[in-house]
Structure 1
Amino acid sequence: MSHAMGHVPDRERDRAVELVQQAYADGRLGPAELERRLELALTATASGELEPVVAGLADDEDEDDEVVRIASTGGLIKRVGDWHVPRRLRIDSEYGRVKLDLSQAHIPYPRIDIELRLAYGGATITLPAGASANADGVRIGWGRVTSKAAGRRCPGRLHVQIAGDLPYGSITIRTARR
C-alpha cells in the first residue's frame, strides 16, 4: 500500500493526538486505550481514519462552552498582567484594537487557541518568553500577520494557535523579553 493514497493534514493529526492526550490526562481513557488511539492517529493515511481516534472525545457541546468570547465594535480590548487565559479565546472586533499580553498571565494549558475576527482592527499578542505561535490559520484579506515569535512548538513551553479572519486587520505577535 502506497502512502500516496491519502494525506492527513498535520493540523488534523495534531488535533486528534491532542484530544486523546487530553482525555487521558482527564482520566477518561486508560493507558491501553491511549496507546491504541495514538497508534491509529499516527498511522492514519486519510482524514476519515482519524474519526475512530477521536470518537467520543470531542464533544462539540462541551467545546462551545469552553470558548470565551470577547466582542467590541470599536475601542480597545485589552488583557494584561495576571489574568486567567482560557483554553480557547475568541475575539470579535470591528474597528477596535486588541492587545493581549500573555507574558504574566496564568495559563494552565500547554496550548491555547485564539480566534480573532478583526474587520479593520489590529491585534498585538505578546507571548511569554520561550513560547511559540502559529498563525497559519489566519485568513488575510488586505491585512497582514507579523510574527517575531518561534513558529515551532517547544516541548514544555506554551504554544499559541491563532486563527481567524482579517479582511483589513493586522496581527503582530511578539515575545516578551525575559
Structure 2
Amino acid sequence: MPKTFIFSCTGIRTLFDIYVYNESCYDSMDPEYIYEQCKILGIQDYEKKAREMAYKLFDVLTKDFSNLSKEEFEYVEYYFSSGTYGTAQQRIQNEIHKFELEGSKHAKAKYVFRRLFPETAWFKNHSKFLESYPIFIPFYAIFRIVTKVFLSWSNWMNEIKNILFMD
C-alpha cells in the first residue's frame, strides 16, 4: 500500500479498508508488534498517518471534519482525487517529482527516457526469465519499445500529453 500510495496514489477505499480492518481485528492485534514490523519495512510514518486519517474520516464519533488541519485535508483530498487504485497522471507527477528531488534539471526528459529505457533492475524485477538470463535484457528492451510505443501508440501519446501539460 505505501508503495502504491507513493507511486500513483491509492483511492479513499484504502483508508476505509484500514478503518474497517482495524475496527474488526483491533482486539487481536498487537500494536507494538505492528509498529516494529512497519519500522523494519520503513513505513511506520505512512502507517501511522494513514491510520490516523482513516479514523478521523470514518469514526462514527468524530463526524466533525473541522478538526482536520490544512495538511490533513490536502492528504485526504489526494486520496479522494485518485480513484480506487490511483491515476496514471498522479503516477507520472510523482515520478517526475522524485527526479526533481534527486536534483534533475530536466525531470520530464529523464522520466521519458526511463520509461523507454528502464534500469536493469526493472527488467529483472518484472521477469523471472530475465532475472535468470540477463543477457536477453537488450533484446527484451527493444521488443518492449516496439510493443509499448508503436503498437500502443494512443496510450503512449496520452502519457506524453500528460507530461507536456502537467503543472
Fold conserved between structures, TM > 0.5:
no
Higher relative contact order (CA 8 A, sep 6+): 2
Identify the structure with the greater helix proportion: 2
Name the TM-score class by shorter chain: under 0.3
Per the normalisation by structure 1, the TM-score is 0.23
Greater CA radius of gyration, 1 or 2? 2
Larger relative strand fraction? 1
Q: TM-score, normalised by structure 2?
A: 0.24
